[in-house]
């Protein structure tokens, strides 16, 4: 009941059931609870029948009091598949359809997912044929009063299950076809969701705890410690260990063990190498106790697939290549595009993408020469290399630019 946000007492349930005179028979309170949960689920989705008026797909699955409700969206509705447009040059394709800023991009195989403040996730199926990009599934995040809620976090596992987090604090689980099959609500505000490497378990990070759910939304474990408070981010390091960033520390936290403090200081960013061997931490200022000080005013970092090569970029757009084994710089690039906020390697390490708030540069790692650059409207929010064909997707404002290198 608490997870569903209900605060009914047994007396109120008895009152609403119309059983004020006679005593409640054995088991009837459970029946009242089940009906209350079903009614709450019904209220959550009741306005979706009118959703087509607002450009959102319609749930066509019936509601039953004795069975959980799974949203099934109208597959023949033209809006649910073609509410997107494509404008393309020879190598650049612009995807549009969102009505608010795009906050995050996720890719898995041939799918590209975009989450927006307009309250939707759009599933774009990547194709060599530009016109096929206009086929898009929409995953709406709607409250009972038909208000759309901003999508703040997305993750997609190898089992085809999409986990999304909206500002209403509800985690929604979707199938690879875009069907909502479960919702999760925590007692405290969730900041981020992330699948583990197997795709079997979902980590939900809140300000004061870590919660692990299975792929069907069943609660597996909750970790709380009085010393680990004001959590800002957490990641899986292994199936049994998490790395936790707070406002003033970085912790290693194993299940069934006390957390271990790794670092003390104001932290801007934390990132593991691909094999989880090296942990890079960007702090606000240099301390005398630093184990190894690389550079000042770092704005972004990234590891290559070789694991021991770390890239850092400073406020002067200088990208340094560090060999972590020899603790020396091996290369340097001067991008000259202002403050770079993200560096992303293609899966084969052949190309590096660097972006500021208005420009994207692609560098060839074989000769360290600039391969391509293009400018977009300000407010670039995210960039990601797609799994298939190695195309670069750039989220800016309410659109996505997909760049094909060849």
* Domain assignment of residue 166, yes or no: no
* Domain assignment of residue 353, yes or no: yes
Q: What whole-number distance in Å separates Cα of residue 151 and Cα of residue 114? A: 9
* Residues belonging to the chain: 406
pTM greater than 0.85 (yes/no): no
- List C-alpha distances in Å: 103 to 48, 106, 183, 295, 383: 24, 11, 21, 29, 10
Q: What are phi and psi of 164, to 5 degrees?
A: -130, 145
Burial category of 181 from C-beta neighbours within 10 Å (exposed 0-12, middle 13-18, buried 19 and up): middle
Q: Which domain holds residue 389?
A: 295-406
* Domain assignment of residue 308, yes or no: yes
Residue 406: CATH number of its domain = 2.130.10.10
Q: DSSP string spanning 81-132?
A: HH--EEEE-SSEEEEE--SS-EEEEEEETTEEEEEETTSEEEEEE--SSGGG
pLDDT band at 374 (very low <50, low <70, confident <90, very high): confident
Tally of structural domains, the chain: 1
- List C-alpha distances in Å: 315 to 268, 298, 376: 14, 7, 20
pLDDT at 289: 47
Residues 6+ positions from 311 with CB-CB distance below 8 Å: 301, 302, 303, 304, 319, 320, 321, 322, 343, 352
Residues 6+ positions from 59 with CB-CB distance below 8 Å: 45, 48, 49, 51, 71, 72, 73, 74
Whether 48 contacts 60, CB under 8 Å: no
Token couple for 24: 């409640």
pLDDT at 315: 85
| 3-state SS, residue 161 | coil
For the segment 151-183, what is each residue's pLDDT rounded down to a tens digit?
A: 999 999 989 999 999 998 889 999 988 889 998
Q: What whole-number distance in Å separates Cα of residue 52 and Cα of residue 201? A: 34
In the chain, pLDDT over 90 holds for what percent of residues? 41
Token couple for 312: 């850092």
pLDDT at 90: 59
* Domain assignment of residue 78, yes or no: no
Q: DSSP string spanning 219-261?
A: EEEEEE-TTS-SEEEEEEEETTEEEEEESSEEEEEETTS--EE
pLDDT band at 205 (very low <50, low <70, confident <90, very high): very high
* Domain assignment of residue 401, yes or no: yes
* Domain assignment of residue 379, yes or no: yes
Whether 171 contacts 199, CB under 8 Å: no
H helices, E strands: number in the chain: 3, 31
* Domain assignment of residue 106, yes or no: no
Name the least confident of 20-29, 210-219, 304-313, 323-332.
20-29
For the segment 64-121, what is each residue's pLDDT rounded down to a tens digit?
A: 655 655 655 554 333 333 345 555 445 788 888 899 999 999 998 888 999 999 999 9
Burial category of 54 from C-beta neighbours within 10 Å (exposed 0-12, middle 13-18, buried 19 and up): middle
List the Cα angle 44/49/52 in 5-degree steps: 115
* Domain assignment of residue 30, yes or no: no
């Amino acid at each position: 009941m608490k997870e569903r946000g209900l605060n009914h007492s047994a007396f109120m349930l008895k009152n609403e059931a119309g059983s004020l005179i006679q005593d409640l028979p054995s088991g009837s309170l459970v029946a009242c609870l089940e009906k209350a949960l079903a009614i709450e689920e019904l209220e959550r989705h009741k306005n979706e029948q009118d959703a087509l008026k607002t450009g959102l797909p319609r749930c066509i699955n019936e509601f039953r009091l004795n069975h959980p409700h799974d949203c099934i969206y109208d597959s023949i509705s033209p809006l649910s598949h073609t509410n997107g447009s494509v404008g393309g040059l020879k190598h650049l394709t612009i995807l549009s359809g969102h009505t608010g800023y795009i906050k995050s991009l996720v890719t898995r195989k041939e799918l590209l997912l975009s989450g927006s403040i307009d309250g939707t996730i759009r599933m774009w199926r990547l194709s060599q044929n530009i016109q096929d990009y206009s086929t898009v599934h929409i995953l709406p995040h709607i409250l009972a009063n038909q208000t759309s809620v901003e999508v703040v976090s997305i993750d997609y596992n190898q089992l085809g299950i999409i986990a999304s987090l909206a500002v209403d604090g509800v985690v929604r689980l979707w199938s690879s076809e875009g069907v909502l099959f479960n919702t999760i609500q925590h007692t405290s505000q969730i900041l981020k969701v992330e699948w583990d490497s197997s795709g079997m378990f979902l980590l939900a990070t809140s300000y004061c705890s870590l919660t692990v759910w299975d792929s069907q939304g069943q609660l597996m474990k909750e970790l709380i410690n009085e010393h680990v408070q004001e959590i800002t981010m957490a990641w899986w390091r292994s199936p049994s260990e998490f790395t936790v960033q707070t406002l003033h520390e970085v912790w290693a936290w194993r299940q069934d063990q006390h957390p271990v403090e790794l670092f003390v200081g104001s932290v801007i960013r934390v990132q593991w190498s691909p094999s989880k061997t090296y942990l890079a931490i960007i702090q606000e200022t240099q301390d005398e106790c630093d184990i190894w000080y690389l550079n000042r005013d770092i704005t972004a970092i990234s590891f290559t697939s070789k694991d021991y090569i770390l890239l850092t970029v400073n406020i002067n757009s200088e990208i340094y290549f560090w060999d972590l084994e020899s603790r020396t710089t091996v290369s340097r690039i001067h991008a000259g595009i202002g403050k770079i906020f993200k560096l992303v390697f293609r899966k084969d390490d052949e190309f590096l993408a660097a972006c500021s708030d208005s420009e994207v540069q692609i560098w060839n790692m074989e000769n360290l020469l600039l391969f391509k650059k293009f400018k977009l409207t300000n407010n670039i929010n995210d960039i990601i290399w797609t799994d298939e064909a190695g195309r670069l997707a750039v989220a800016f404002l309410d659109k996505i630019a997909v760049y094909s290198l060849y």
